[in-house]
Amino acid sequence: MKKIFIFSIVAANALFADSDIEELKKLVMEQQKTIQALQTRMIALEETKKTAVQSSSEKESEDKPVVAEKKQTTILASTENQVPKKKKKPKRSKENLAEEDEYAAYRTSGTSIATASSSEDNAMTESQDNTSSFDQSAFLPGIALIGNMSAVSRNISNDEYANYSIPGFFGNPGELPFNEKRGFNLNYGELEIFSTVGPYIDIFSAFHIAKDELEISELYATTRSMPYGLRLKGGKLKSEFGRINMKHQHAWEFSSIPLVFEAFFGQEGLCDEGLQLQWVAPTDFYLMAGVEMMQGSNEYSFGDTDGINSMVSYLKSAVDLGDMTTLLGGITYMQGKNGFGDTKIYGADLTLRTDFNSYSSLTWQNELLYREKPLEGGIVADQAGLYSQLIYDYNQNWSGGIRYDTIFKNVPDEPEGLDKYSAMLMYRPFEFTKLRLQYSYDKSKYFAGEQKNVQEILLDLTFEAGAHGAHAF
Amino acid sequence: MKKISLLFLLISASLFAKINVVTSYPWLAKVVQEVGGSAVHVTALASPRMDPHFIVPKPSLIPKLSRADLLVINGAGLEIGWLPPLLKRANNANINPGRKGFADASKAVRLIDKPKTVSRAYGDVHPNGNPHFVLDPHNLIPIAKMIAGKLSRVDPANKGLYQRNLSAFLQKWRAYLKQFDGQMRSCRGLNVVQYHALYNYLLKRYGIRSLATLEPLPGISPSSKHTFEVIKIIKRNHVKKILQDPYHEKKTSRFIAQKTNAKVIVLPQDVGAVSGTKTLKNFYQSISRRLCH
């Protein structure tokens, strides 16, 4: 057995060696042929050019390259079924042909082929700098650093504010992730690293760096070559239902998440480990359907994480009303275990945006969420809220906006009509820098059964450095 | 119901017969139409009335991308601010960068103004060079060739047709270029200022010098300090023309014109950007007429 094995190895080795030599010989022969062909072509062209120059003028520099390229392509055709390495060189010269003095380009690229192939021969004599042979720096992923900081003024002391909560909603967040204390806050740094991993997968990651903690905010792989308009995403990801949930804090129009999201999912929205499948319908208008299977670790609405315990599904569509106006709408249904039963959430969103020109637009955005959450003892809590915001982008530098938040339906013995009003003014000296002044008047917070008015003025600064991608609609 | 489904089938069948080409900007669509002829169905994503750097990524553009067989972009970073998220959402594997159905026009031309050092301290620089090469009509020749090659790869059955269309277009275009070069000759040696480095390819080709941009740095709105510097430059060099794109504010250029003897000239950056520029010829014609007459 062992002998046969060794024998086969030897045989395989010999075979490979043979075929290697054969291949190399072939390669060299072919290269010599092409070099010869190119040289004769060069001589021929030089002669025609001489005669052409004598005969004439402007038109010449235009027409000549066509001839050159035609001939070039015939050469190409004759050498087409070769090793890909070879094909590249004539191609390069083809590109150069586009240049102003195309004939000269042809000549230089011709010689570069000759020198390239001769240097290939020299490679055998190991006289080169080989330190970069395994260098992969060209494959560095895209990296972005985003920072957010704020100065906050609030009419309630920090200690007191930490004990406030929205009545009827489970769990006091305890600590706020953003704009926690009066005075200066360095809210977070976010490190985004993203790259194409191969022909089939892209990867995106966002690391949320707050004081004394590093959190994987998102890390997911996305397919890039699925057929039928499908795309699969897996990892830890922000759910893409509605409008605001998929955006990171630095892309929000206001510094805080809408009240109904804060109540249903917490300050950072619904973000969980899971799998997402999206499908774009082959229709003339935009129609997209998505399903997400999630662990269900969001404690505000779900919280039972023993298995794949929640599901989010949504349908989105958009139509253009004229050239500059777009209406975008969506519906959402989600379901997940919370320990007492299945929480069900129904959502709807509607956005109307009119663009006045490339820099100025008016956007009216609304989202509504309705939740049925089973509680202890078979009671089901019906709660609902919405937000409506109007954002005016005056130009590339200035924006302003107002938002109305309300929770209009609550569990039987808890107050309804919990409102919050916000207004903001944003200045962007440059695309990647945002300075925002925001005022909010919050009537949704209670302490010991008593309603408390919270007023807040904050100034926050967001900067985005590095390979930061474009923001979606 | 049956009728509707039959109709639907018919429509989709007629659509399938043609190659679906999507381009980022209208001028690319015109070139594709010339080369593709009856074998292609072309749509441009951007409106020519918008700043080409800042096209609104409307969701209605997604289905166009998701059904495309070939996507032709300008490249050199001009679409970086709006196209990538749309392309990602379109879930169309065929037109992703690197695939057969993806074409980048900037790879066919020689880019100028490539910055030696790249930093956002210098504003919105394009690291690969100036992407506004459409302003030089000579660039359409290599681009048309590249598009013919791409179309032949996506749709090999019509290779002959594309080749014929290409030769016809090249012949037509070379004849037109002669005429255009003649019209532009009177502009040689002219000094101008421009809002953004939008017209550099045109200026370079025809020996026109740009002495300043109204933007202090690319993508940064004019400041009063910089505007007064531009006024000084105009006065010192007797500049007669301020080149202004159609989509930016025109207050600054009008103010400068008022303070100096220079005239504001609005030059289109794309087919259809100003009225009377519906075809490629009309587009370049309006440039030479506005600039040199």
Minimum CA–CA partner of A198 in chain B: B98
Query: Which of the listed residues A91, A123, A155 is the one where a domain comes to its end?
Result: A123
Task: For residue A132, tell me if it sits in a domain.
Answer: no
Q: Is the pLDDT of residue B71 over 90?
A: yes
Task: For residue A108, tell me if it sits in a domain.
Answer: yes
Which candidate in B8, B56, B91 is best for mutational testing of the A interface (most A CBs within 10 A)?
B91
In chain B, which residues fall in CATH 3.40.50.1980? 2-178, 186-292
Which candidate in A285, A328, A358, A398 is best for mutational testing of the B interface (most B CBs within 10 A)?
A358
- A145 with A116, same domain: the answer is no
Per-residue pLDDT at B278:
95
Task: For residue A31, tell me if it sits in a domain.
Answer: yes
Tell me the CATH number for domain B186-292. Answer: 3.40.50.1980
Contacts of range A158-163, beta carbons closer than 8 Å, 24 or more positions apart: A158/A182, A160/A447, A161/A454, A163/A447
Q: Is the pLDDT of residue B48 over 90?
A: yes
Contacts of A472 in chain B (CB under 8 A): 57, 85-86, 89
Q: Which residue has the higher pLDDT, A71 or A251?
A: A251
Per-residue confidence band for A302, with pLDDT thresholds at 50, 70 and 90 = very high
- A118 with A170, same domain: the answer is no
Q: Is the pLDDT of residue A107 over 50?
A: no
Contacts of A280 in chain B (CB under 8 A): 62-63, 66, 89-91
Minimum CA–CA partner of B50 in chain A: A358
Per-residue confidence band for A128, with pLDDT thresholds at 50, 70 and 90 = low
Minimum CA–CA partner of A470 in chain B: B81
Query: Which of the listed residues A67, A89, A123 is the one where a domain comes to its end?
Result: A123
Number of residues written out for chain B: 293
Q: Which residue has the higher pLDDT, A72 or A432?
A: A432
Q: Which residue has the higher pLDDT, A239 or A82?
A: A239
Per-residue pLDDT at A420:
97
Task: For residue A416, tell me if it sits in a domain.
Answer: yes
Minimum CA–CA partner of A61 in chain B: B174
Q: Are B35 and B169 in contact (CB under 8 A)?
A: yes
Task: For residue A240, tell me if it sits in a domain.
Answer: yes
The Cα B271–Cα B47 span in angstroms is 10
Per-residue confidence band for A378, with pLDDT thresholds at 50, 70 and 90 = confident
- A211 with A79, same domain: the answer is no
CB-CB under 8 Å, B63 with A281: yes
Both tokens assigned to A5: 């094995």
Task: For residue A226, tell me if it sits in a domain.
Answer: yes
Which candidate in B58, B173, B204 is best for mutational testing of the A interface (most A CBs within 10 A)?
B58
Per-residue pLDDT at A237:
97
**Across chain B, what does the average pLDDT equal?**
92
Q: Which of A163-167, A249-253, A467-471, B136-140 has the lowest mean pLDDT?
A: A467-471
CATH code, domain carrying A422: 2.40.160.10
Q: Is the pLDDT of residue A204 over 60?
A: yes
Residues 106-125 of B with CB under 8 A from A: 107-110, 120, 123-124
CA distance B175 to chain A (A): 9
Taking residues A269-288, what's their average pLDDT? 95
Q: CB contact, 8 Å: B104 with chain A?
A: no
ipTM reported for the complex, 2 dp: 0.87
For every residue of chain B, DSSP letters joined together read: -HHHHHHHHHHHHHHHHSEEEEESSHHHHHHHHHHHGGGEEEEE-S-TTS-TT-----TTHHHHHHT-SEEEE--TTTTTTTHHHHHHHTT-GGGSTTSTTEEEGGGTS------SS--GGGSS--TT----GGGSGGGHHHHHHHHHHHHHHH-GGGHHHHHHHHHHHHHHHHHHHHHHHHHHGGGTT-EEEESSTTSHHHHHHTT-EEEEESSSSTTS---HHHHHHHHHHHHHHT--EEEE-SSS--HHHHHHHHHSS-EEEE--SSTTSSTT--SHHHHHHHHHHHHH-
Spell out the residues 6+ positions from residue B85 whose beta carbon is closer than 8 angstroms to its own: A469, A470, A471, A472, A473, B57
Q: What is the dihedral of CA B29, B33, B35, B41, to 10 degrees?
A: 100
Contacts of B89 in chain A (CB under 8 A): 280, 288, 472
- A425 with A336, same domain: the answer is yes
CB-CB under 8 Å, B49 with A357: yes
Per-residue confidence band for A314, with pLDDT thresholds at 50, 70 and 90 = very high
Task: For residue A420, tell me if it sits in a domain.
Answer: yes
Q: Is the pLDDT of residue A90 over 60?
A: no
Express as a percent the part of chain A with pLDDT over 90: 55
**Across chain A, what does the average pLDDT equal?**
81
Contacts of A397 in chain B (CB under 8 A): 221
Per-residue pLDDT at A88:
43
Q: Are A243 and A353 in contact (CB under 8 A)?
A: no
CB-CB under 8 Å, B170 with A473: no
Minimum CA–CA partner of A98 in chain B: B142
Q: CB contact, 8 Å: B276 with chain A?
A: no
Per-residue pLDDT at A44:
67
- A307 with A385, same domain: the answer is yes
- Its domain, for residue A20, covers 2-123
Burial of B163-197, coded b for 16+ CB within 10 Å and e otherwise, reads eebbeebbeebeebbeebeebbeebeebbbbbbbb
Minimum CA–CA partner of B182 in chain A: A58
Task: For residue A217, tell me if it sits in a domain.
Answer: yes
- A259 with A316, same domain: the answer is yes
pLDDT per residue as tens digits for the range B189-247: 999 999 999 999 999 999 999 999 999 999 888 999 999 999 999 999 999 999 999 99
Q: Is the pLDDT of residue A188 over 90?
A: yes
How many domains in chain A? 2
- A322 with A407, same domain: the answer is yes
CB-CB under 8 Å, A58 with B108: no
pTM: 0.79
Per-residue pLDDT at A127:
59
pLDDT per residue as tens digits for the range A229-259: 999 999 999 999 999 999 999 999 999 999 9
Tell me the CATH number for domain B2-178. Answer: 3.40.50.1980
Q: How many pairs of residues across A and B have Cβ atoms under 8 Å apart?
A: 117
CA distance B161 to chain A (A): 17
Query: Which of the listed residues A58, A89, A123 is the one where a domain comes to its end?
Result: A123
Per-residue confidence band for B157, with pLDDT thresholds at 50, 70 and 90 = very high
- A247 with A112, same domain: the answer is no
